[in-house]
Chain A
């Protein structure tokens, strides 16, 4: 049959395809209308730059090849790549095949899809014809092998590096069923056709001859192509309402990302594209400590984004999260999950917690200082950190004052993380006024929670430094002030300092200068959360302990002398149990490694007692 006769079975496919090509632009324009004029200007400024080319490159490597998933697990990466890239090539190479054959780029859109029905032997008796027959069969094998792995993942997820797979909702199941049938049915239909014609590609002809031995192929020819067309059309209709919406949405998202649309508040179209670009691959549930250690399996990023997409997430989903950032780090689509979650909490809380009335700022100390030290609530619960920082600053001869000496200032981040945005803003305004009055040239912070919010939410005239950065610089500039020991230390990256602020190297450098760094199983971007995070509003104390113990075990596996961290909350959380290996803040380590006064200044010898190595520094 010639394709110009337009057989009836192409109808389901054509209708599905038309639906997708009308529905998607409409919905994308609806989202884009949420952008402000400024957002569109931002896009316009970036659209004619090399950023657009970079976006195309990332679309190729992430939407088709799935490079980031390959890095996570090679079999899982192959599964995603073979389905996405294999299908893409089937479409592209199929189209080229028809163009070579008909010498017409404007042949009907269904022709590449049902090409074998019209021309079972391909382009007859030419090298080109045999080439396309072989390459199309190879691509079909590529997709089918990915499909086999996808099938395997449902039942033996660990083979693909997944501890568990995502729990599906109804639209996902419908779309998934259609998707699973598309390529086996294509294979079947092409085999039947090749079996009848007695010619075809090596794969489909082989299977066609096998089928011919026990099936009446002539009777199956039209029904098999009908079935293939129906599942294709069905998949297209289910696509926008299921997780497969990510296929097209991720492409747009990557463009928007490179056109600098991503704002921290996600108040424009970017959030909609992010939410719909989630493929529910489940990698986030796999890295989440809540599911791994505490048995909490309802609130992971994938379920939060899903609920956000179809409505409003319930409180248990919104609240049960450390905001540790492990899921954002692992997400192959790079969705800003934590920001979306804080925004979700904010929407729920805005009415509940209005701006607080803050006491007016009383006059700050008039004494002129270089460094203003902000300890924060959590450092006040671990006074060893404040003492150590004070001693180091004094020994280094730096003029400083402590902003929250009377413990009455807050950085505002705990309230912000809980969604109390207005209250957080009033706290931030008051603390900003306090800092501005001091006249110092540097704000020193010993808490990563404060550090992150100072960097992101404050508008300060002076630079902010976390004490890991500060101490590392001090050690570079004044190496004689410190000594090296043989203490073995493992380092715990606090979430807000590592993934949250990108500071990984300085604390490690301090440890190498003062002792020996013992590596741990999860480090840097992959570091575990201590379990103490204030961001989780729903976890029970018992579940917290499970997460903490598991992280502590990982950190002490190398049997170090100290577990070192640079966050008072992490320290407090780890130190809460009965611990054989003590937990110390990096400031306490640095103080311990201060060169004794009598070595630095022999003329003053005898004034200070030599500090013994390995003293008990945990209070």
Chain B
């Protein structure tokens, strides 16, 4: 261990501290309006399992979960590695247009800044 984390004891990274009161959880509702199929997602994880960019931390299921918790900073970091290849959409058993969700999410986050 080195750097700032080499002190003794446990620590929690900022993004893992979930404060539902202050987090902005509205984004997922806007997204669900743009891509209604998002609401049929039941978090099975097929998308994450097939993802070409999973080694880089991309995982649609995780993105969706974090969105519902309003953890936008982490989401923004994760979706940068998405290649938009569309495999997640093709394997989704619930026909969620996952690719369209990521695409619209990128635009939404950009508009927020």
A460 at the interface (CB under 8 A from B): no
Residues in A with CB closer than 8 Å to B110 are: 351-352
**Contact between chains at B85 and A377 (CB < 8 Å):** yes
* Minimal Cβ-Cβ distance residue in B for A380: B87
Q: Which of A381, A415, A423, A427 contacts B87 (CB 8 A)?
A: A381
Evaluate contact between B91 and A381: CB separation under 8 angstroms. yes
- Taking the nearest CB of chain A, how far is it from the CB of B94, in angstroms? 10
Q: State A381–B84 Cα separation when bound (angstroms).
A: 15
A356 touches B100 (CB 8 A): no
**Chain A residues closer than 8 Å to B107, beta-carbon distance:** 352
Of A351, A409, A538, A572, which one neighbours B90 at CB under 8 angstroms? A572
Given A408-B55, A540-B97, also A378-B37 (CB < 8 A): no
Choose one: B86, B95, B97, B106; the contact of A414 (CB below 8 Å). B86
* Residue contact A359 to B85, C-beta cutoff 8 Å: no
Interface string of B48-88 (1 = CB under 8 A from A): 00101101100000000000000000000000110111110
Bound form: Cα–Cα A334–B100 in Å = 30
Given A351-B110, A381-B90, is A414 in contact with B55 using a C-beta cutoff of 8 Å? Answer: no
Nearest chain-B residue to A315 (Cβ)? B107
Q: Which residues of B contact A427 (CB under 8 A)?
A: 83
- Chain A CB within 8 A of B43 CB: no
Chain B: residues with Cβ within 8 Å of the partner, total of: 24
Size class of the contact patch on chain A: 20 to 34
The answer to whether A410 touches B83 (Cβ under 8 A) is yes
Q: Is the interface of B mostly helix, strand, loop or mixed?
A: helix
Q: What is the bound-complex CA distance between A410 and B55, given in angstroms?
A: 13
Residues 54-99 of A contacting B (Cβ, < 8 Å): none
A interface, over-half SS: loop
How close is A347's CB to chain B, nearest CB, in angstroms? 13
- Chain A residues closer than 8 Å to B87, beta-carbon distance: 377-378, 380-381
Interface residues in A423-461 by Cβ distance below 8 A to B read 423, 427
> Which residues on B sit within 8 Å (CB–CB) of A532?
90
Given A352-B106, A534-B84, the answer on whether A377 and B37 have CB atoms closer than 8 Å is no
CB atoms of A414 and B85 under 8 A apart: yes
Distance A357 CA – B106 CA, assembled complex (angstroms): 16
A415 touches B97 (CB 8 A): no
B37 touches A540 (CB 8 A): yes
Answer yes or no: A537 CB below 8 A from chain B CBs.
yes
A353 at the interface (CB under 8 A from B): yes
Binary interface profile of A, 378-412, with partner B (CB < 8 Å = 1, else 0)?
Answer: 10110000000000000000000000000111101
Q: Are A414 and B84 in contact (CB under 8 A)?
A: yes
Chain A residues with Cβ below 8 Å from B83 are 377, 410, 412, 414-415, 423, 427
Chain A residues with CB under 8 A of B99: 534, 537
Chain A contacts for B100, CB-based, 8 A = 537-538
Quick check: is A418 within 8 A (CB to CB) of the other chain?
yes
CB of A420 within 8 Å of the partner chain: yes
Determine the residue in chain B with the shortest Cβ distance to A413: B85
A409: chain B residues at CB < 8 Å are 52
**Complex: how many Å from CA A381 to CA B91?**
8
Q: Closest chain A residue to B55 by CB distance?
A: A408
> Nearest chain A CB to B19's CB is how many angstroms away?
28
Q: Which residues of the partner chain A approach B50 to less than 8 Å between Cβ atoms?
A: 380-381
Name, among A407, A410, A420, A541, the residue most crowded by chain B CB atoms within 10 Å (CB to CB).
Answer: A541
A residues in contact with B86, CB < 8 Å: 377, 414, 534
Given B84, B91, B97, which contacts A420 in the complex, CB threshold below 8 Å? B84
Q: Are B103 and A418 within 8 A (Cβ)?
A: yes
Residues of chain B lying within 8 A (CB to CB) of residue A415: 83-84
B4 CB, nearest partner CB in chain A, Å: 23
B85 — which chain A residues lie within 8 A by C-beta?
Answer: 377-378, 410, 414, 534
With a cutoff of 8 Å between Cβ atoms, the chain B residues found around residue A356 in the complex are 80-81
**What distance in Å separates the Cβ of B61 from its nearest Cβ neighbour in chain A?**
17
Given that A407-B52, A534-B99 are known contacts, is A541 also in contact with B84, CB under 8 Å in the complex? no
Q: In the complex, how many angstroms separate the beta carbon of A183 from the nearest chain B beta carbon? A: 49
Q: Say yes or no: A359-B55 contact (C-beta < 8 A), given A410-B83, A414-B83, A418-B84.
A: yes
Minimum CB distance partner of B92 in chain A: A541
Known: A377-B86, A423-B83. 15 other contacts (CB 8 A): A352-B106, A357-B80, A359-B55, A378-B85, A378-B90, A380-B50, A381-B50, A381-B87, A410-B52, A412-B83, A414-B86, A415-B84, A418-B84, A538-B100, A540-B97
Closest 7 CB pairs of A and B: A377-B85, A352-B110, A410-B83, A414-B84, A534-B86, A541-B95, A415-B84
Q: List 12 A-B contacts (CB under 8 A).
A: A352-B107, A352-B110, A357-B80, A377-B52, A378-B85, A380-B50, A408-B52, A412-B83, A415-B84, A540-B36, A541-B97, A569-B90
